[in-house]
Homo-oligomer: A and B are copies of this chain.
């Protein structure tokens, strides 16, 4: 048996024990994990320094080095994050539905853990800790595959997590870490049907594409967001300005940031030039359609590729549309099914937009930036699904579970 398969098999065995634990057991284990991460702060930071040095030597960008960097504060944040997960309700064991059949069978649909969750992720080492906390609380074992650039940091974090589990009822084998930069290891992991119940990729578009292309185990596709804000002719101009500035500028490198602004032609002349000036004042590069260029000549023209690009940067494409129908049609053509917003005072127009747009989250008079497990009140987030199977949008603990039918009878047979 290969090393990867062996790790997954251990996780599978551990998952059976873990599935039966109470919320109290799991919370105690997570508090012990939090303590051990804190107690090993110095070692974790030392390991992180190796990754930072390697990263700098191999030319990682300052932005990526910042994402990779750990310090006392960031480790305290991780520890707090784990503690917060202990305060969330345990979804396992919930009776989702219950009914009797005419033949006397009593059917209960009961929430159960997913089993073994694989996580393939990039750069940020806090994903290691978040994933463990959420999966373990949801009763699932986890097989982690972080990026090679964070190998030493992740190794130190997993060591601390496992130490924490030693003082708990959660089997230490419930957390498995693929301790190699070898790419074959990921490919093998993605094909462990029967051992892994689910793989979630977290990272850039390339990572997600690779996982979707290579995996034979079930996948939840996350993250890629080509999000739009549509300003209708009946929009409140001030509100429209605040929403697009927030959706574009509050953070650039996130999946729920806006990448394209659509504006109704009747509002364009009065509203758009000022809005563009405000965006430019915040350092945003504007790429406009021909109508936009005729209103604001000093900007770059948008090409076909711009409409389908998730910039993840201070760049915004802008298009003037004839009407709401044209806005919907543009989003249907170019959107990635993540988050889409309309700004309008006209409720009927808003409802048309909300109904016609097929995305994980659709907004009326609010920023796309709200698509987030914490903002939705889930208390946690393992990722944002952009597929329709199983879960859509922000995924919390419940989205990490499955269910089974428990059927009680008195000797029933089928005729």
CA distance A398 to B369 in the complex (A): 30
CA distance A83 to B169 in the complex (A): 53
Instruction: Indicate if the CB atoms of A332 and B393 lie closer than 8 Å.
Output: no
What 0/1 readout, one digit per residue, does chain A (359-392) give for beta carbons within 8 Å of chain B?
A: 1111111110111000111000000000111101
Identical chains in the assembly: 2
Assess whether A219 is interfacial by the CB under 8 Å rule.
yes
Assess whether A206 is interfacial by the CB under 8 Å rule.
no
What 0/1 readout, one digit per residue, does chain A (391-415) give for beta carbons within 8 Å of chain B?
A: 0110000000011111111111111
Q: Which residue of B lies closest to A197 (CB)?
A: B388
What 0/1 readout, one digit per residue, does chain A (226-247) give for beta carbons within 8 Å of chain B?
A: 0000000000100100110111
CA distance A388 to B110 in the complex (A): 13
Given contacts A20-B355, A367-B414, A412-B370, contact A362 B246 (CB under 8 A): no
Residue count of chain A within 8 Å CB distance of chain B: 69
Segment of A99-107, A157-165, A260-268 engaged in the interface with chain B? A99-107
Nearest Cβ on chain B to A189's Cβ, whole angstroms: 16
Q: Which residue of B lies closest to A116 (CB)?
A: B388
Listed A/B pairs (26) with beta-carbon separation below 8 Å: A19-B358, A20-B356, A101-B376, A107-B376, A115-B388, A193-B212, A197-B387, A198-B388, A198-B389, A218-B219, A218-B221, A218-B390, A239-B411, A242-B413, A246-B414, A359-B404, A361-B404, A361-B406, A363-B407, A363-B409, A365-B411, A365-B412, A366-B407, A366-B409, A370-B412, A389-B389
Assess whether A320 is interfacial by the CB under 8 Å rule.
no
Instruction: Indicate if the CB atoms of B250 and A409 lie closer than 8 Å.
Output: no
6 A-B pairs besides A366-B413, A369-B413, A392-B403 with CB distance below 8 A are A197-B387, A213-B216, A246-B414, A250-B415, A366-B411, A370-B412
CA distance A314 to B247 in the complex (A): 63
Residues of B close to A250: CB separation below 8 A: 413-415
Q: Of B216, B247, B364, B413, which contacts A409 at CB under 8 A?
A: B364
Among A112, A220, A406, residue most surrounded by chain B Cβ atoms (within 10 Å): A406
Q: Which residue of B lies closest to A191 (CB)?
A: B213
Assess whether A46 is interfacial by the CB under 8 Å rule.
no
Q: Which residue of B lies closest to A394 (CB)?
A: B405
Q: Of B19, B221, B360, B365, which contacts A404 at CB under 8 A?
A: B360
Q: Of B193, B198, B363, B411, which contacts A236 at CB under 8 A?
A: B411
Assess whether A38 is interfacial by the CB under 8 Å rule.
no
Nearest Cβ on chain B to A218's Cβ, whole angstroms: 4
Instruction: Indicate if the CB atoms of A410 and B105 lie closer than 8 Å.
Output: no
Q: Which residue of B lies closest to A104 (CB)?
A: B366
Q: Which of A272-307 contact B (CB under 8 A)?
A: none
Instruction: Indicate if the CB atoms of B405 and A242 lie closer than 8 Å.
Output: no
The dominant DSSP class at the A interface is mixed
Nearest Cβ on chain B to A139's Cβ, whole angstroms: 11
Nearest Cβ on chain B to A182's Cβ, whole angstroms: 22
Assess whether A175 is interfacial by the CB under 8 Å rule.
no
Instruction: Indicate if the CB atoms of A404 and B362 lie closer than 8 Å.
Output: yes
What 0/1 readout, one digit per residue, does chain A (87-126) give for beta carbons within 8 Å of chain B?
A: 0000000000001010001010000101100000000000
Nearest Cβ on chain B to A341's Cβ, whole angstroms: 9
Q: Which of A13-30 contact B (CB under 8 A)?
A: 16, 19-20
Assess whether A354 is interfacial by the CB under 8 Å rule.
yes
CA distance A246 to B360 in the complex (A): 45
CA distance A193 to B388 in the complex (A): 12
CA distance A101 to B407 in the complex (A): 38
Residues of B close to A370: CB separation below 8 A: 105, 407, 412, 414
Instruction: Indicate if the CB atoms of A393 and B367 lie closer than 8 Å.
Output: no
CA distance A411 to B388 in the complex (A): 28
Q: Which of A125-172 contact B (CB under 8 A)?
A: none
Residues of B close to A404: CB separation below 8 A: 358-362, 392-393
A-B pairs with lowest CB-CB distance, top 4: A366-B409, A246-B413, A388-B402, A218-B389
